[in-house]
Amino acid sequence: MSTTNASLTVSGIDVDIVYKDIKNLHIAVYPPQGRVRVAAPDRLDEDAIRLAVVQRLPWIKKQRAQLRNAARQSEREMLTGESHYVWGQRYRLSVVGEPGRIRLNLSGNRLTLQAPAESTADERREALDRWYRNELKREIPALIARWEPAIGRDVAKWTVRRMKTKWGSCNRESAHIWFNLELAKKHPKCLEYIVVHEMTHLLERHHSERFTALMDHFLPDWQARRDELNAAPLRSEEWTH
């Protein structure tokens, strides 16, 4: 099935468009915080797609609000028995009272957090975020080094940060790429997809037909990886799409 890509903005909401050999238009809203994607029949022009999005705006806004509420409601209390995801695998948290610096480690199906008994949930969450950040920082350099020769562009700088609406972003002029901290919770092949996606933007700014062709060449299963990234649990086992 052939696909081409485009984008538009409706009422301040960015909308990704994927043209396909299909009969009916389909609108979907994805985590982390409401990316909107339209799968549209090849025959539809942009005005028709814009009208369809406008007509579904109340539903789109409702879905985006639910995703954001779910993110807030699923914030972990950092207590024994909670579920947390690391590289796409679910682990049970075990909190062990230990004086000194808060530490985390994986063993079997358990994520152990050693922390002073008086430490707060916020302090434990901050420690977990630092641990996730270190996990990403350990994996990203090898992926970039692997893909630089294939893509033909070097990454000058990369940064891990918490991002509200994107899994990654890049500045083509400075060759600086940003990665969402939440990627440490996803399967490693999802991280590789984002690395390739953002590096491909160094060659092509927009989600154009050329961008799609480049992604098809570099990573033939990129669409399956993208769908897995957007469908997998984000913050806890209750988050599904």
What is the per-residue pLDDT for 57?
Answer: 94
Residues 67 and 127 in one domain: no
Between 157 and 42, residue with greater pLDDT? 157
Q: Please list, in sequence order, all residues whose beta carbon lies within 8 angstroms of the beta carbon of residue 131, skipping any fewer than 6 positions away.
A: 104
The predicted model gives 41-51 an average pLDDT of 90
Q: Could you tell me if 116 and 214 are in contact, meaning their C-beta atoms sit under 8 angstroms apart?
A: no
What is the per-residue pLDDT for 3?
Answer: 52
Q: How confident is the model at residue 1 (pLDDT cuts 50, 70, 90)?
A: very low
pLDDT higher than threshold 70 for residue 107: yes
Residues 141 and 57 in one domain: no
In a domain, 89, yes or no: no
Cis previous bond, 99, omega within 30: no
User: Could you say which of 16, 40, 73 is where a domain stops?
Assistant: 73
What is the number of domains present in the chain? 2
Q: What is the CATH number of the domain that holds 187?
A: 3.30.2010.10
Tens of pLDDT, residues 131-165: 999 999 999 999 999 999 999 999 999 999 998 77
What is the per-residue pLDDT for 35?
Answer: 84
In a domain, 103, yes or no: no
Residues 68 and 144 in one domain: no
What is the per-residue pLDDT for 31?
Answer: 74
Percent above pLDDT 70 for the chain: 90
In a domain, 127, yes or no: yes
The predicted model gives 169-188 an average pLDDT of 95
What is the per-residue pLDDT for 206?
Answer: 85
* Angstrom distance (rounded) from CA 68 to CA 64: 6
In a domain, 69, yes or no: yes
Predicted TM-score (pTM) of the model is 0.73
In a domain, 94, yes or no: no
Residues 134 and 206 in one domain: yes
Give the residue numbers spanning the domain of 195.
122-231
* Angstrom distance (rounded) from CA 168 to CA 183: 9
The predicted model gives 44-49 an average pLDDT of 91
Residues 69 and 128 in one domain: no
What is the per-residue pLDDT for 155?
Answer: 97
Task: Let me know how long the chain is.
Answer: 241
H helical segments located in the chain? 46-55, 57-73, 121-151, 188-200, 209-218, 222-231
In a domain, 223, yes or no: yes
From 58-67, 81-90, 143-152, the region with the lowest mean pLDDT: 58-67
Q: Is the alpha carbon torsion for 136, 90, 104, 122 positive or negative?
A: positive
From 18-22, 67-71, 187-191, the region with the lowest mean pLDDT: 67-71
Tens of pLDDT, residues 202-233: 999 888 889 999 999 999 999 999 988 887 55
Residues 69 and 134 in one domain: no
What is the per-residue pLDDT for 2?
Answer: 44
User: Could you say which of 58, 73, 88 is where a domain stops?
Assistant: 73
* Angstrom distance (rounded) from CA 199 to CA 149: 11
The predicted model gives 83-109 an average pLDDT of 93
